[in-house]
Structure 1
Amino acid sequence: MTWQMHGDPMMWVAGIRALYLQALHPRAVRGVMQNSDFRHDAWGRLMRTADFVGTTTYGTTEAAEKAGARVRKIHTMLRATDPDTGESYGVDEPDLLLWVHCAEIDSYLQVARRSGFRLTDAQADRYIAEHRVSARLVGLDPDSVPANRTELAAYFAKVRPELAATPEARAVDDFLLHPPTHPLLIPAREVLWRRVAHLAYAALPPYAHELYGRPAPKPSTVTRRLRLTGTVLRCVPARLRWQLPPKHILRAMARLGPGSRPAPYKLGPQVAILDRPGEGGTR
């Protein structure tokens, strides 16, 4: 499921949704803001995140394990401080890692399905279960990570009272609406980027809109916009889209052969060519 889904262009919109959602956990977002020059190296941070997801999806097992080891090592050296209590804590606390993981996976799944990427409920559950591997790579016990939609929904219901739109969350919101860019590119940012950011924000669950205090269109309207955006982006030839850094998909295809190309049709039922008449099976 992951191999096919992560080749879809709507993953970029999903990634922005994940940032909005992740920022609503006070301790998690504080760990980011206190340990990185987010505003001045935001694009670098986003690309490093994209590189990690691409490596764990399309890289070799060795590359994925090395990427996970690097992340775990960095996390062990970082701490944050609660400004209200003075408490110091590590950013690698399991509860924080779990929140970041679940917000990311939920965003990928929600945006993909609502934008027209067809997945059955069973396939959606399999996608969530597959990411217990990526959870292990960042230092989580796979058995503590939701393995299906029911467990993921229960997790969000449990953590919901802890969420809040803190000053750090509002700083992330402001950045996502007004990311730093070259003065000559500001018009393009206002026309293109803001539309993507607004769509990603609109795709959040209603409770997130309430916390941020900014309204969003009705869910049915958001779904229509996601479908329209997905339709337009999927018209861009995949090989052209995959030329953008970090090119993990093209490298995977070069390593494994053209048959490894991610494609949504591979998730649907297919009749095996070698089956005798009347004995077609699904793949």
Structure 2
Amino acid sequence: MAIKALGYVVIETAQPEKWDEFLTELAGVMRAPDAEDGAALYRIDARPFRFRIETGAREYFLAAGYEVADAAELDRLAGAIRDAGRPVEIASAEEARLRGVAALLRTSDPAGNTIELFHGDSRTDAAFVSPKGVPAFVTGPMGMGHAVFSAPNFDETVAFHRDVLGFHETDMPRFQLFGPEGPSMGFAFLHADNGRHHSIAFGEGPVPPSGAVHIMLEMPTLNEVGKAHDRMKALGYAESATLGCHMNDETTGFYVQTPGGFDLEIGCDSLVIDPASWETTRHEAISTWGHEWAWQKAMKEQEAAG
């Protein structure tokens, strides 16, 4: 047994009103009743929340919360993490209750990325109703979506998530992002024990000031992705990557910069794998079409300006 799925994300912000607009008006996420401690909660399905937005002094991705099977597995992982020399903080019963789980621990990987592990997830009978008419997000056993981080000590960090936490390699490419003469950059796309191509991923490089690279939500259709893309433009949010289709997980979508500085990928038609029989791939390109990144546009503009 290992990780079941991505359950939720926790974000700190000094501009909660902007996050509320971003999540409800752009992504079409549903505002839930606030937590007892004042955090703003947002739903995409029957879980009481998938986004927990905490008001603070900075813009920062605090943690990604991943579900495990049961109390015994959580205890086993706590021991394995300690044996690997990483910290383990056992959350109080009150903090676990505020997360909507039975028990919770917190750790960090060798790059300093914070991971929460929990068991005993909860659901609500209240219907999910998107303020923008999104009929549903693709979740279920595949969880919320995925989270992507950076790691300067790439090999060590990937080994921790694979050998200690129990994620599995899906795609392990190296990309020449800056042309054939530039340095290559390692990436690791890791799946949990479900059909989502990757529930966590890492790029080789410094941890960004925002604390994460991006998170991903899966829409049910390309039509819903397109409507979200229009809402992004109407609301004036920065597009981080144009519409395109990834080669490895086959997701068609776009990237938009969140108020926290990291990106949100909104996509559809993602590849569903068999986690028990999947053999690791090493794709040589990021996308089959599209996905012109903001930094690529900026480089072209600089070149055109001389």
Q: TM-score, normalised by structure 2?
A: 0.27
- The structure with the largest alpha-carbon Rg is 1
Greater helix proportion: 1
Greater strand proportion: 2
Higher RCO structure, 1 or 2 (CA under 8 Å, sep 6+): 1
